[in-house]
Amino acid sequence: MGLREKARKSLEANEDEIDAPVLLKVDAAEREEAKARVTQLRKELEDARKLSDAKTAQIARQDDTIHGLQTRVKDLEAASAIAERDAKKAVKELEGEIKEAREELQDLQEQGRHRGRRSRDGKGREETHGARDQRGVPAQPGGRGRAPRRIP
């Protein structure tokens, strides 16, 4: 072998040695970067799990609230139906009482016409129809009877 070949081999050997540590440095940097990324992803996964647990708890609380409100709505609807039935019953009873009161009023009006009560003529004056005052004296037309006596 000549000198040139030895130099070339020497240079080639040096290049292989120089390239080897550089590759290791690049691999180490990639590994560090990958480790940092894995650490970051694990942290993000843990945060996502915590958020998921919080959302699940919030959903459970909302479900309980919804269930309670649905129960309350059902109770209020039942109470409303009962109140409506009672109100309808009360209306019917009151309508019956009104009808009875009107009939009684009509009967009393008819009895009043037949007993000789005072009534008004077309000019606004009172007329007597056989009515008597407290002493049994026939009522005076156009007035209340005799003026009360004054005591000095």
**pLDDT digit string, tens, across residues 40-86:** 999 999 999 999 999 999 999 999 999 999 999 999 999 999 999 99
SS3 assignment, position 149: coil
Distances (CA, A) of 135 to 33, 58, 112: 125, 89, 20
Domain-embedded: residue 86: yes
Q: What is the dihedral sign for C-alpha 69, 75, 78, 80? A: negative
Please state the pTM of the whole predicted model.
Answer: 0.42
Partners of residue 120 on adjacent β-strands? 126
Domain-embedded: residue 118: no
Domain-embedded: residue 126: no
Domain-embedded: residue 75: yes
User: Does residue 142 have a pLDDT over 80?
Assistant: no
pLDDT band with cut points at 50, 70 and 90 for residue 5: confident
What is the number of structural domains in the chain?
1
Domain-embedded: residue 129: no
Domain-embedded: residue 128: no
Span 123-133, mean pLDDT?
55
